[in-house]
Amino acid sequence: MEETTIDLCEMDFPPASYGKTLAQAEATAQQVVERIFRDEDDILRSGVYGKTMKPLRLEDVPCGHAGLMTLVRAKAIPPQFQPVWLNYENTMQASGKYLIALCEKYKATNSPQTRDLARRLVAAVAKLWKNAAAQHPYGRGWMPKPYGGIRDVSEMYETSADQYADLTFGLHQYWRDLADEEERNLIQEMILSFAAWWYDHDYSGGYLGRGIWWKRLPYPHPTGYFLFLNALAYSWDPCRKYQDGFETWLEKRDALIPKVEHNGSSGCGIALDAIDRLLELRPMERHYWMKAARAAADAVVWTIDTGNLQGPYSSAIIEPFGYSAHELSVAHRLMPERGYDKQTLRCLRSSTDRARFYHIARGQPTAGRDCMTDDYRNTFWCEGHAGWLAGYWALKNAGVQVE
């Protein structure tokens, strides 16, 4: 019989079923984020070992002992973190999505506890930002993936546009919906430093130990993010630098119209989040933004129809439903007549069991996997929880019946 991925959790929490209703699943999913993924410094881990629900150790990683890390062995980080890279690989994306979820929840509930959870997460992000500026040669505005946690990031030379993107979206939503004056000033300072850093480095950086020139990649997520980042920065500091940055990326705007076989839920979801904000910041381009939004949303639907998050991880059947709940709730807000609310509900209802929140979907064949997907195979993933929660509360705030 062919071996497949299984739900191997041996712990009492999280439960196998998150609840019989979406409201029960929401309560459980938030407890999971807070109890399993929020670390001692208040930032979110991106993954844990699904057997123990604790951070990955070397012995938990199939390829770690052999040193055969096919994709990450060249990462520009200390070698002791390479085998356990998934503990914090998507920390900024998970934290940004969760900030959006908390803002949406506060809008619906006016809960002081929800506001406090969001406030603590913003403070942790600010600590990462300050530590990177103080400790790292790349300086102010550099936000590395914090593979050993946020206290010491002096040797962390890895980041990517998608990490900055989701984090910036979350900070922007908190700035808009929840922040007090001091927090608003801090968030503006952080985001302006992001915009200046990327402009001053010609939108290039290090990724997987290699140089990456984001301007040369015809993908929707860097295009959408850098358009939004420069438009937002210009709205706060209307200088030539940020207008020039916006115009640079506006010339590349056709990348916002994705080829679905290359950019599924993650890349097109980032484009949707950016477009949602660009409609307010640069309304004169509305016709094009909406054309791009329709294409991106349809690509996300394609992802959940095929069950595959495409891109460099195409050999792995990565669970797309949690990610897509948030993204399709944004599509519904932008285009309520196109039925994306029903697609969002489909995502929410498909992910109410623990087994759905592993990074690699349970029940997938394990034969023929490469070493990278062995690492992913049994990792329990935060980002799916955060996206699910954001989609749930956004849909409620849009007046959709979700029970």
E strand or H helix at 212: strand 210-213
Quote the tokens at residue 191.
């985001």
288-to-256, 268, 338 alpha-carbon distances in Å: 10, 15, 17
| Residue environment code for 76-99, b if the CB has 16+ CB neighbours within 10 A, otherwise e | ebeeebbbbbbbbbbbbbbbbbbb
Q: What is the Cα–Cα distance from 185 to 282, expressed in whole angstroms?
A: 22
- pLDDT at 261 (0 to 100): 55
pTM for the complete prediction? 0.95
Nearest one of 186, 146, 140 to 163, comparing CA atoms? 146
CA 346 to chain centre: 20
Q: Tens place of pLDDT for every residue, the chain, 403 residues? A: 567 888 999 999 999 999 999 999 999 999 999 999 999 999 999 999 999 999 999 888 866 544 455 567 788 999 889 888 999 999 999 999 999 999 999 999 999 999 999 999 999 999 999 999 999 999 999 999 999 999 999 999 999 999 999 999 999 999 999 999 999 999 999 999 999 999 999 999 988 888 899 999 889 999 999 999 999 999 999 999 999 999 999 999 999 987 655 556 678 899 999 999 999 999 999 999 999 999 999 988 888 887 655 444 444 456 677 889 999 999 999 999 999 999 999 999 999 999 999 988 788 777 665 555 666 678 999 999 999 999 999 999 999 988 7
Quote the tokens at residue 117.
């959870």
Q: What is the Cα–Cα distance from 110 to 274, expressed in whole angstroms?
A: 26
Cβ–Cβ under 8 Å, residues 245 and 230: yes
Nearest one of 17, 47, 101 to 358, comparing CA atoms? 47
Alpha helices in 136-253 (DSSP H): 161-177, 181-200, 220-236, 240-250
Cβ neighbourhood burial of 283 (10 Å; 0-12, 13-18, 19+): exposed
Nearest one of 142, 159, 170, 174 to 228, comparing CA atoms? 170
Nearest one of 319, 336, 326 to 96, comparing CA atoms? 326
- pLDDT at 67 (0 to 100): 46
DSSP 8-state assignment for residue 189 = H
DSSP 8-state assignment for residue 137 = T
- pLDDT at 83 (0 to 100): 85
